Amino acid sequence: MLTTLRIVIYRDLLLALRRRSDAMNALLFFVIVVSLFPLGVGPEPNLLRTIAPGVLWVAALLASMLALGKMFAADHADGTLEQMLLTPAPLSIVVMGKVLAHWLVTGLPLVALAPVLALQFDLPREAFGVLVGSLLLGTPVLSLIGAIGAALTLGVRGSGVLTALLVLPLYVPVLILGAGAVDATAAGMGGAGHMLLLGALLVFAAVFAPWPIAAALRIAVE
C-alpha cells in the first residue's frame, strides 16, 4: 500500500510539473487577493492587523478551491480512473495519494508564501509562526474536504459551481479556527486551543474522508 501511495503521489506531481499553469493560477490568485486589501482599505496599521487573519485565510481557502475540479477530471476523462479501480490496492490509498499530491502542489506553496504576504498587514512577530502552523494544519483539511466535493460532482456539467456549493459550508469551521488562532495570538491571548482543534480536524478528515471519496469515484465511473 505504501508503494501504491508513493507511485500515485509521484505520478500526480510529475503531471503537475508538466502543467505548471494550474498551480501558478492558484498561487497568483492568492497573491493578488491578499495584496489588494491593503491597497483598498488604506495604510491604517490597526485596521490591517485586525483584518489580516481573515483576509489571509479566506484567500488561501479560495485559492485552494481553484484546482479542485481537476483533481480527478483528467483521470476520469482518459480512463485512468477506471484502471485505478482495478488495482489490487484499496482505492482509499489511491485517493490519499492524489489528495496529498494536490496539497503539495497547491496548499504547500500557499503556506510558504503566506508569511511574506503577511508583512503587508504589520502582523506581530509572534503571529507569523501561528499563521504558518495553522495553514499547515488547515490546508490539508481543505484538500480532503474539497476532494469529497470534486468526487461527488465528477462528470457533472457545471461541476465547479456545484463543488463550491458543497464544500464551502464544510470549510467554515476550518476558516474560523485558522483565522481565530492567528487573531488570538496577535491579541496576546494565545492560539493553542484553536491549533489543537485544527489538528483534531485534520486527523478526523484524514481518517474518514478517503472512504466517501472512494465511494463517490466508484459511482462516477459506473
Convert the pLDDT of each residue in 19-53 to its tens digit. Answer: 777 778 888 999 999 999 888 887 788 888 888 89
* Residue 56, pLDDT score: 93
pLDDT, tens digit (0-9, with 9 covering 90-100), for 61-97: 999 888 787 788 878 877 788 888 887 878 888 899 9
In the numeric block, which cell numbers belong to residue 207?
481518517
- The gap from C-alpha 203 to its chain's centroid, in whole angstroms, comes to 15
* Residue 113, pLDDT score: 92
SS3 for 2-59, per residue? HHHHHHHHHHHHHHHHHCHHHHHHHHHHHHHHHHHHHHHHCCCHHHHHHHHHHHHHHH
Q: How many domains does the chain have?
A: 1
Q: 86 is in which domain, residue-wise?
A: 2-221
pLDDT, tens digit (0-9, with 9 covering 90-100), for 141-200: 999 999 998 888 887 776 677 888 889 999 999 999 999 999 888 887 878 889 999 999
Query: Can you tell me the distance from the alpha carbon of 217 to that of 222, in angstroms, rounded to the nearest whole number?
Result: 9
* Residue 204, pLDDT score: 95
Q: What is the pTM of this model?
A: 0.90
Query: Can you tell me the distance from the alpha carbon of 74 to that of 62, in angstroms, rounded to the nearest whole number?
Result: 21
